[in-house]
Structure 1
């Protein structure tokens, strides 16, 4: 399975291991208005984007039918767990979470 991450400055990290995912997520401490998130993107088109403060966005920008969802105040450890599920291609487990409808569009990471 193919997956990659965007770090907070928009750099790409191919197939990050769990420690690299943690370092990229820790980079949110450097987030600003121009570079607000990091994301993990799966070859299926599904993407998890994490923002400083615990906002997590679940979306598939390649498919117009599913509505993006979000969760608030998600702990770093839970974000890392979900990044791991998405990296492994376990879309169903991520999709099954209680996502709230996303109310406004946003720019995809990077």
Structure 2
């Protein structure tokens, strides 16, 4: 499975291992208004974006009709665990979490 991360300055890291994921996440200490997040994107199109303060956003930018949502105050270790699940292609486990503010599929009153 192919995946990649963007660091806080927009640099791409292809298929990072757990230690590289930690380093990218550590970069949130340097986040600002212009560069607020880091993200991991899987070849399926699903993406997790982590922001300073524990905001985590789950989305598929390639298909906005799919679910997604956000969680607040997510602990660093949980973010790393979810990055690992997504990197492994286990989108079902990530999707099963209690995401808030989920987008409604088109045509269903959203």
Please give the TM-score of this superposition, normalised by the length of structure 1: 0.91
**What is the root-mean-square deviation of aligned Cα atoms in Å?**
1.1
Please tell me whether the aligned partners of residues 3 and 14 of structure 1 are also in contact (alpha carbons under 8 angstroms). Answer: yes
Runs of 4+ in 1 over 2 A off after TM superposition: none
Higher relative CO (Cα under 8 Å, sequence separation at least 6) belongs to 1
Aligned-partner Cα distance in 2 for 1:8–1:36: 7
2:87 aligns with 87
1:32 aligns with 2:32: yes
Aligned-partner Cα distance in 1 for 2:91–2:102: 18
1:44 aligns with 44
Please tell me whether the aligned partners of residues 68 and 95 of structure 2 are also in contact (alpha carbons under 8 angstroms). Answer: no
Please give the TM-score of this superposition, normalised by the length of structure 2: 0.91
Aligned-partner Cα distance in 2 for 1:67–1:88: 20
Unpaired runs of 5+ in structure 2?
A: 104-110
The farther-off stretch of 90-99 and 63-72 is 63-72
2:5 aligns with 5
Task: Report how many aligned residue pairs link the two structures.
Answer: 103
Aligned-partner Cα distance in 1 for 2:13–2:90: 20
Unpaired runs of 5+ in structure 1?
A: 104-110
Who wins on radius of gyration, i.e. which is larger?
2
